[in-house]
Amino acid sequence: MLDMKWIRESTENQEELQRVADQKGIALSVAELVRLDDQRRTLLLTVEGLRQRRNAISQEISTLVRQGKQEEAERTKQQVKDINMELDEQEALYRKVDADYAQLLILVPNIVSPDTPVGASDEDNVEIRRVGEPPVFDYEYRDHVTLGEQHRMIDIPRGVKTAGTRSYYLTGIGAMLHRAVQQLAVDMLVAKGFTLMDVPLTVRTEAMENTAFFPLGQDQAFQITEQDKWLVGTSEVPLVSFYGGEVVDVAQPIRLAAASLCFRSEVGSGGRDVHGLYRVHQFAKVEQVVLCEASAETSEQLLQEITANAEELLQKLELPYRVVAVCTGDMSQKTYKQYDIETWMPSRGAYGETHSSSNLLDFQARRSNIRYRDAEGKLRYCHTLNNTAVASPRILIPLLENHQRADGSILLPKALRPYMNGMERIEPPADAVME
C-alpha cells in the first residue's frame, strides 16, 4: 500500500495516483478515497469526544453519589444514557465508513517509475535489448509438443485425462530436464549469496493480501475449500511473508531464493495459449526475492542485478532472448518498475515471456509490515524486489525447440550436461517415428 499521508499531501499526488490507477486498469476513485478518509477522521474525533464527555460525566456522577446528592446523580445518569445512544450511532457510522475506506485503500496501486512506458497491454512493452540470434532451420522444425511426444518426455493427453485442461505429465528425460534447469538456477543463485529456502505452498489469505496478490489477483489462485488457505502462484508470497511483521537488518540486502511448485487458475485465459506447455495450472519456479533499505538507488541497482541473474541463466542455456520494459497497462497493482525477459520460441514465431523482474519499493513491505532501522535509528519500511530465475515447464519450450537438430535429436547446452548425467544430446528412442 501507499502512505495515506503522501496521498493527502497534495492534489498533484492524488492526480498522479488516479492516473496510475487508470493506466493499470484499477477501478479506484482517489477523490472518493480522500473523502472517506476525511469523513472517518471527523467521525473518529466525534466518537472520541463523546467518549471523553461520557467519562467526565461518569466521574461527576461518582462525586455526586459520594456527596449524597442522589437526585442530581440520577438526572446526570440520563445524560450518560443519551450520550451512549449517540455514541452507538456514531460508532456504527464510523465502522461503516472505515470499512468503505479500507475497501478502497486496498485497491490503491503503487506509483510507477518515471521510465516506465505508458501503454494498455503487453503489445506496448518497449524492447530494451536482444541477446543471441533466433535459429534458422533449413528443415521442417518440430514444436515442443511434437518433440516431447517423439522423445516420450511430454504426455499432455494423459495429463488432461487425469487432471483436466492445462495439465501434463513430464516423463523420463522430460522430468530430468525439468529438474535440471531448476537445479542449475539454484546452484547459480546460491553461489551469488542467495539463501535457499523450502517454503510453504499453502498460505493464509492474510499472506496473499500482505504481499499484494489479493484482492485483485484472487481469481488466479486456487483455494483450499472450507479453509483459510490458498495454493501459491509463486514462492514470492512465502518468501516475503517469512519476515512479515518483523524489524530486519538490511545493512546488506537480504537475498532469498526458493525452488517450488506453483499453481494458477488461469481464469480469463480461456482460448489463449491452449497448445502445449506455455500456460498450465501447475509449474515449478526458482524465485529470487530481495529486501533492502528504502533507497531508490539501491533498489534500482538490485533490480538490474536480479534481472542480470535471469539473463545469465538464459545465456547458460544458450537461448536467444530479449528484455522489455513493461508498460503501465501490463503491470500489476504492486509494481513500481518491471522488466520481462522473453525467450525466442520457434513454434510461436515470436519471443515468449519466460522471466519477470519487479521493483516494488516499499509497497509490499508496508502491507507486510516489514521494517528496518535507518542510520538515525528511525523505523522505515524496506524495499522489496522479485524475479523469476527460471520457470518450468515453460522454459522447456525454447530449450527443446531452439536446440533441436534435423535428425530429431536435441542438443543439450554445456551448462546443463552435469545435471543430465553428462548427456550431450537427447537422442530419439530407437523405435520412435521421427517425421
- Per-residue pLDDT reduced to its tens digit, 141-150: 999 999 999 9
58 has a pLDDT exceeding 90: no
* Active-site residue, selected from the candidate residues 356, 357, 358, 392: 356
3-state secondary structure the chain: CCCHHHHHHCHHHHHHHHHHHHHCCCCCCHHHHHHHHHHHHHHHHHHHHHHHHHHHHHHHHHHHHHCCCHHHHHHHHHHHHHHHHHHHHHHHHHHHHHHHHHHHHCCCCCCCCCCCCCCCCHHHCEEEEEECCCCCCCCCCCCHHHHHHHCCCEEHHHHHHHHCCCCCEECCHHHHHHHHHHHHHHHHHHHCCCEEECCCCEECHHHHHHCCCCCCCHHHCEEECCCCEEECCCCHHHHHHCCCCCECCCCCCEEEEEEEEEECCCCCCCCCCCCCCCCCCEEEEEEEEEEECCCHHHHHHHHHHHHHHHHHHHHHCCCCEEEEECCHHHCCCCCCEEEEEEEEECCCCEEEEEEEEEECCCHHHHHHCCEEECCCCCEEECEEEEEEEEEECCCHHHHHHHCECCCCCEECCHHHHHHHCCCCEECCCCCCCCC
| Domains 4-105 and 122-426 equal at CATH topology level | no
Domain boundaries, the chain: 4-105, 122-426
The predicted structure's pLDDT at residue 57: 85
351 has a pLDDT exceeding 80: yes
* Active-site residue, selected from the candidate residues 236, 266, 287, 353: 353
394 is known as an active-site residue: yes
The predicted structure's pLDDT at residue 271: 67
* Active-site residue, selected from the candidate residues 40, 264, 366, 367: 264
* Active-site residue, selected from the candidate residues 255, 299, 394, 401: 394
Average pLDDT score, the chain:
95
Q: What is the pLDDT of residues 289-304, one digit of tens each?
A: 999 999 999 999 999 9
293 is known as an active-site residue: no
Q: What is the pLDDT of residues 323-348, one digit of tens each?
A: 999 999 999 999 999 999 999 999 99
The predicted structure's pLDDT at residue 429: 84
Class of domain 4-105: mainly alpha
Q: What is the pLDDT of residues 206-253, one digit of tens each?
A: 999 999 999 999 999 999 988 999 999 999 999 999 999 999 999 999
* Active-site residue, selected from the candidate residues 179, 204, 279, 417: 279
The predicted structure's pLDDT at residue 8: 97
270 has a pLDDT exceeding 70: no
279 is known as an active-site residue: yes
Note the CATH architecture for domain 122-426: 2-Layer Sandwich (3.30)
356 is known as an active-site residue: yes
107 has a pLDDT exceeding 90: yes
pLDDT band, very low/low/confident/very high, at 77 (cuts 50, 70, 90): confident
Determine the average pLDDT of the residues in 166-194: 98
299 is known as an active-site residue: no
pLDDT band, very low/low/confident/very high, at 275 (cuts 50, 70, 90): confident
431 has a pLDDT exceeding 80: no
The predicted structure's pLDDT at residue 209: 97
The predicted structure's pLDDT at residue 68: 82
